[in-house]
Amino acid sequence: MNRLEQLYSLQGLRVVVTGASSGLGLSMSVMLAECGATVFGLSRSGDVKVEYDGEIPDSIQFEKMDVANEEDVKRKLAEIGEKGGIDVLINNAGVTIKKPAVEFTNTDLEYMNSININGVYHCSKYAFPYLKVSNHVGRIINISSMASYLGFSEVVPYCASKSAVIGITRGLAVEWADKNILVNSVSPGWFPSLMNQQVMDADRQKKILSRMPLHRYGKPEELAAMICFLASPAASYITGQDFSIDGGALAFGY
């Protein structure tokens, strides 16, 4: 293996991806496996729930886990960790609800936060014993959102929850810096996904695409490539950072 391959290969890594049954979680699981990792694709369904245009590598194991259920998280991560360790955790599972801020109920908030905030925290907590002893330097990669930086109408609690993800990222990066664990996050812009479709209408789509310099949606592989990089030896001096993969949206003024 030459120097370039050594820097970017994920050979030998055991990677956990939450929310892996569809969309961006499935796409990043596939690319991680193609780069050499053994991937545990976790979701409530425990399987691929969409038509996938391509081949799914045999090195992905799809299994059930509900990130909103702390006991389920504890059990599943211990099961994976005790059988061979965990080198990388990717907290990708997330949900949103679209409605005016004054109409959100406590039930709505509890549901969203149980996945977007508590799920990230509990997965990180229960993966910690295995990440800290990884021979490859443990990694946590949290999926945040452009909504952690920008305000979007009718998804205010989602904006709040994704801001919390970046807060968790920075806090854990500092606390676990001497524990053999690097913690970063990635904030996707607009990618074709079921979640985006749930809050999208023609007017919002026009506004969004006109607001970014590249004027197009991102491709799933363009996000997955950043995930693979942050999991690789090439990113061994990066921690506590958030990376916006957004077509230049955050940089766009007038």
Q: Interior CA angle at 205 toward 201 and 208, to 5°? A: 140
Catalytic site includes residue 8: no
Here the tokens at position 214 are: 């590249």
Using CB atoms within 10 Å of the CB of residue 129, give its burial: 0 to 12 exposed, 13 to 18 middle, 19+ buried.
middle
The CA distance from 198 to 29, in Å, is 23
The CA distance from 119 to 66, in Å, is 9
Contacts of 229 (CB under 8 A, 6+ apart): 8, 235
User: Is the CA virtual torsion 238, 243, 248, 253 positive or negative?
Assistant: negative
**Are β-strands 60-64 and 181-188 bridged in parallel, bridged antiparallel, or unpaired?**
unpaired
Using CB atoms within 10 Å of the CB of residue 74, give its burial: 0 to 12 exposed, 13 to 18 middle, 19+ buried.
middle
Asked if residues 187 and 158 have their Cβ atoms less than 8 Å apart, the reply is: no
Active-site hit among 121, 126, 130, 158 = 158
The CA distance from 163 to 60, in Å, is 30
Contacts of 162 (CB under 8 A, 6+ apart): 94, 116, 144, 145, 147, 148, 187
Active-site residue list = 158
